[in-house]
Amino acid sequence: MDRFIRSCFANPSSNRCYKRRMEQLAIKLLGFAAAACTTLAYAPQFVKVWKTRSTEDISLGMFLVMVFGILLWLLYGLLSGDAPLIVANAITIVLAGGILWMKLKYG
Amino acid sequence: MDRFIRSCFANPSSNRCYKRRMEQLAIKLLGFAAAACTTLAYAPQFVKVWKTRSTEDISLGMFLVMVFGILLWLLYGLLSGDAPLIVANAITIVLAGGILWMKLKYG
Protein backbone atom coordinates (compact mmCIF):
# COMPACT_ATOMS: atom_id res chain seq x y z
CA MET A 1 0.00 0.00 0.00
CA ASP A 2 2.69 2.47 1.06
CA ARG A 3 4.79 1.34 -1.89
CA PHE A 4 1.78 1.88 -4.17
CA ILE A 5 1.35 5.47 -2.91
CA ARG A 6 5.05 6.13 -3.49
CA SER A 7 4.85 4.74 -7.04
CA CYS A 8 1.85 7.04 -7.67
CA PHE A 9 3.87 10.05 -6.54
CA ALA A 10 6.60 9.00 -8.99
CA ASN A 11 4.19 8.42 -11.88
CA PRO A 12 0.83 10.08 -11.06
CA SER A 13 -0.68 9.82 -14.55
CA SER A 14 -0.46 6.01 -14.74
CA ASN A 15 -3.70 4.16 -15.41
CA ARG A 16 -3.75 2.41 -12.03
CA CYS A 17 -3.22 5.69 -10.16
CA TYR A 18 -5.98 7.42 -12.14
CA LYS A 19 -8.43 4.60 -11.34
CA ARG A 20 -7.51 4.77 -7.66
CA ARG A 21 -8.01 8.57 -7.56
CA MET A 22 -11.43 8.22 -9.24
CA GLU A 23 -12.41 5.55 -6.69
CA GLN A 24 -11.39 7.79 -3.81
CA LEU A 25 -13.32 10.70 -5.32
CA ALA A 26 -16.45 8.52 -5.64
CA ILE A 27 -16.11 7.42 -1.98
CA LYS A 28 -15.71 11.08 -0.92
CA LEU A 29 -18.83 12.10 -2.88
CA LEU A 30 -20.74 9.23 -1.20
CA GLY A 31 -19.64 10.62 2.18
CA PHE A 32 -20.89 14.11 1.24
CA ALA A 33 -24.26 12.68 0.11
CA ALA A 34 -24.53 10.74 3.41
CA ALA A 35 -23.72 13.89 5.43
CA ALA A 36 -26.25 15.95 3.44
CA CYS A 37 -29.01 13.40 4.14
CA THR A 38 -28.40 12.96 7.87
CA THR A 39 -28.10 16.77 8.25
CA LEU A 40 -31.16 17.81 6.21
CA ALA A 41 -33.33 14.99 7.61
CA TYR A 42 -34.05 17.20 10.64
CA ALA A 43 -35.62 19.92 8.47
CA PRO A 44 -39.05 18.23 7.88
CA GLN A 45 -39.32 17.40 11.61
CA PHE A 46 -38.43 21.01 12.49
CA VAL A 47 -41.07 22.36 10.08
CA LYS A 48 -43.71 19.87 11.33
CA VAL A 49 -43.21 20.83 14.98
CA TRP A 50 -43.05 24.55 14.06
CA LYS A 51 -46.44 24.30 12.30
CA THR A 52 -48.35 21.95 14.63
CA ARG A 53 -46.81 23.06 17.96
CA SER A 54 -47.40 19.42 18.95
CA THR A 55 -44.48 17.43 20.34
CA GLU A 56 -46.12 14.75 22.49
CA ASP A 57 -44.82 11.76 20.50
CA ILE A 58 -41.29 13.16 20.30
CA SER A 59 -38.85 11.78 22.87
CA LEU A 60 -37.18 14.42 25.05
CA GLY A 61 -34.43 11.90 25.83
CA MET A 62 -33.63 11.45 22.14
CA PHE A 63 -33.18 15.16 21.46
CA LEU A 64 -31.28 15.84 24.70
CA VAL A 65 -28.71 13.10 23.97
CA MET A 66 -28.68 13.97 20.24
CA VAL A 67 -27.97 17.68 20.73
CA PHE A 68 -25.26 16.86 23.29
CA GLY A 69 -23.74 14.34 20.84
CA ILE A 70 -23.82 16.86 17.96
CA LEU A 71 -22.05 19.37 20.22
CA LEU A 72 -19.31 16.77 20.82
CA TRP A 73 -19.07 16.12 17.04
CA LEU A 74 -18.73 19.86 16.46
CA LEU A 75 -15.94 20.08 19.04
CA TYR A 76 -14.29 17.01 17.49
CA GLY A 77 -14.47 18.64 14.04
CA LEU A 78 -13.01 21.90 15.37
CA LEU A 79 -10.14 20.15 17.20
CA SER A 80 -9.25 17.92 14.25
CA GLY A 81 -9.75 20.73 11.70
CA ASP A 82 -12.30 18.79 9.63
CA ALA A 83 -14.28 21.36 7.60
CA PRO A 84 -17.12 19.08 6.34
CA LEU A 85 -17.69 17.79 9.91
CA ILE A 86 -17.85 21.38 11.21
CA VAL A 87 -20.29 22.59 8.52
CA ALA A 88 -22.60 19.52 8.77
CA ASN A 89 -22.79 19.63 12.57
CA ALA A 90 -23.23 23.41 12.72
CA ILE A 91 -26.36 23.06 10.55
CA THR A 92 -27.59 19.97 12.44
CA ILE A 93 -27.25 21.64 15.83
CA VAL A 94 -29.51 24.52 14.75
CA LEU A 95 -32.21 22.13 13.45
CA ALA A 96 -32.03 19.49 16.24
CA GLY A 97 -31.54 22.23 18.87
CA GLY A 98 -34.64 24.01 17.54
CA ILE A 99 -36.70 20.80 17.84
CA LEU A 100 -35.40 20.30 21.41
CA TRP A 101 -36.28 23.91 22.28
CA MET A 102 -39.86 23.45 20.95
CA LYS A 103 -40.18 20.09 22.78
CA LEU A 104 -39.23 21.85 26.05
CA LYS A 105 -41.67 24.68 25.25
CA TYR A 106 -44.72 22.68 24.13
CA GLY A 107 -44.03 19.49 26.16
CA MET B 1 4.22 19.57 10.38
CA ASP B 2 5.68 16.86 8.14
CA ARG B 3 9.08 17.61 9.61
CA PHE B 4 7.56 17.31 13.10
CA ILE B 5 6.15 13.84 12.31
CA ARG B 6 9.53 12.74 10.94
CA SER B 7 11.30 13.99 14.08
CA CYS B 8 8.77 12.02 16.18
CA PHE B 9 9.59 8.85 14.25
CA ALA B 10 13.27 9.46 14.96
CA ASN B 11 12.73 10.19 18.67
CA PRO B 12 9.25 8.97 19.67
CA SER B 13 9.78 9.24 23.44
CA SER B 14 10.50 12.99 23.41
CA ASN B 15 8.28 15.14 25.60
CA ARG B 16 6.74 17.02 22.67
CA CYS B 17 5.86 13.80 20.86
CA TYR B 18 4.29 12.33 24.00
CA LYS B 19 2.13 15.44 24.48
CA ARG B 20 1.03 15.30 20.85
CA ARG B 21 0.10 11.60 21.11
CA MET B 22 -1.95 12.28 24.26
CA GLU B 23 -3.74 15.15 22.48
CA GLN B 24 -4.60 12.90 19.56
CA LEU B 25 -5.83 10.19 21.93
CA ALA B 26 -8.08 12.72 23.71
CA ILE B 27 -9.53 13.90 20.37
CA LYS B 28 -10.16 10.26 19.36
CA LEU B 29 -11.97 9.57 22.66
CA LEU B 30 -14.07 12.71 22.08
CA GLY B 31 -15.04 11.32 18.66
CA PHE B 32 -16.07 7.98 20.22
CA ALA B 33 -18.18 9.78 22.87
CA ALA B 34 -19.84 11.84 20.10
CA ALA B 35 -20.59 8.69 18.06
CA ALA B 36 -21.99 6.89 21.13
CA CYS B 37 -24.36 9.81 21.85
CA THR B 38 -25.70 10.30 18.32
CA THR B 39 -26.13 6.51 17.98
CA LEU B 40 -27.82 5.77 21.34
CA ALA B 41 -30.01 8.90 21.14
CA TYR B 42 -32.46 6.93 18.98
CA ALA B 43 -33.04 4.35 21.75
CA PRO B 44 -35.43 6.44 23.94
CA GLN B 45 -37.46 7.43 20.85
CA PHE B 46 -37.62 3.79 19.77
CA VAL B 47 -38.82 2.72 23.26
CA LYS B 48 -41.36 5.56 23.43
CA VAL B 49 -42.95 4.68 20.08
CA TRP B 50 -42.82 0.95 20.93
CA LYS B 51 -44.77 1.57 24.16
CA THR B 52 -47.27 4.23 23.05
CA ARG B 53 -47.80 3.05 19.44
CA SER B 54 -48.34 6.77 18.76
CA THR B 55 -46.31 8.41 15.99
CA GLU B 56 -48.46 11.36 14.89
CA ASP B 57 -45.94 14.07 15.83
CA ILE B 58 -43.02 12.22 14.25
CA SER B 59 -42.10 13.35 10.74
CA LEU B 60 -42.14 10.59 8.12
CA GLY B 61 -39.86 12.78 5.95
CA MET B 62 -37.24 12.98 8.71
CA PHE B 63 -36.99 9.22 9.19
CA LEU B 64 -37.12 8.42 5.44
CA VAL B 65 -34.21 10.78 4.67
CA MET B 66 -32.38 9.78 7.88
CA VAL B 67 -32.52 6.02 7.23
CA PHE B 68 -31.40 6.58 3.61
CA GLY B 69 -28.54 8.79 4.86
CA ILE B 70 -27.46 6.21 7.46
CA LEU B 71 -27.42 3.56 4.70
CA LEU B 72 -25.08 5.81 2.70
CA TRP B 73 -22.86 6.31 5.81
CA LEU B 74 -22.73 2.53 6.28
CA LEU B 75 -21.71 2.06 2.63
CA TYR B 76 -19.13 4.85 3.02
CA GLY B 77 -17.73 3.13 6.14
CA LEU B 78 -17.56 -0.25 4.37
CA LEU B 79 -15.83 1.21 1.27
CA SER B 80 -13.30 3.20 3.27
CA GLY B 81 -12.79 0.37 5.81
CA ASP B 82 -13.66 2.56 8.81
CA ALA B 83 -14.63 0.20 11.66
CA PRO B 84 -16.12 2.77 14.12
CA LEU B 85 -18.26 4.23 11.31
CA ILE B 86 -19.51 0.74 10.38
CA VAL B 87 -20.37 -0.22 13.98
CA ALA B 88 -22.08 3.10 14.83
CA ASN B 89 -24.19 3.14 11.66
CA ALA B 90 -25.11 -0.55 11.90
CA ILE B 91 -26.63 0.14 15.35
CA THR B 92 -28.26 3.40 14.23
CA ILE B 93 -29.91 1.84 11.21
CA VAL B 94 -31.64 -0.77 13.40
CA LEU B 95 -32.97 1.89 15.81
CA ALA B 96 -33.90 4.58 13.23
CA GLY B 97 -35.18 1.91 10.83
CA GLY B 98 -37.37 0.50 13.60
CA ILE B 99 -38.86 3.95 14.29
CA LEU B 100 -39.51 4.42 10.54
CA TRP B 101 -41.19 0.99 10.39
CA MET B 102 -43.47 1.87 13.34
CA LYS B 103 -44.25 5.29 11.80
CA LEU B 104 -45.35 3.54 8.59
CA LYS B 105 -47.38 1.02 10.62
CA TYR B 106 -49.13 3.38 13.07
CA GLY B 107 -49.19 6.50 10.85
Q: What pLDDT shows up at residue B92?
A: 97
Residue B61 to residue A40, Cβ atoms within 8 A: no
Interface test mutation site (partner A, options B2, B25, B37, max chain A beta carbons within 10 A): B37
Report chain A (107 residues): mean pLDDT per 10 consecutive residues. Answer: 72 82 91 95 98 97 98 95 91 98 95
Q: Give pLDDT tens digits for A67-90.
A: 999 999 999 999 999 888 899 999
- Of the candidates A49, A82, A80, the residue with the CA atom closest to the CA atom of residue A63: A49
Q: Give pLDDT tens digits for B35-87.
A: 999 999 999 999 999 999 999 999 999 999 999 999 999 999 999 998 888 99
Q: Reduce the DSSP state of residue A68 to 3 states and report it.
A: helix
Nearest to A59 among B48, B70, B76 (CB): B48
B50, B34 contact by CB (below 8 A): no
- B10 vs A87, more confident: A87
- Of the candidates B19, B9, B66, the residue with the CA atom closest to the CA atom of residue A66: B66
Query: Model-level pTM greater than 0.90?
Result: no
Does A25 contact B at CB distance below 8 Å? Answer: no
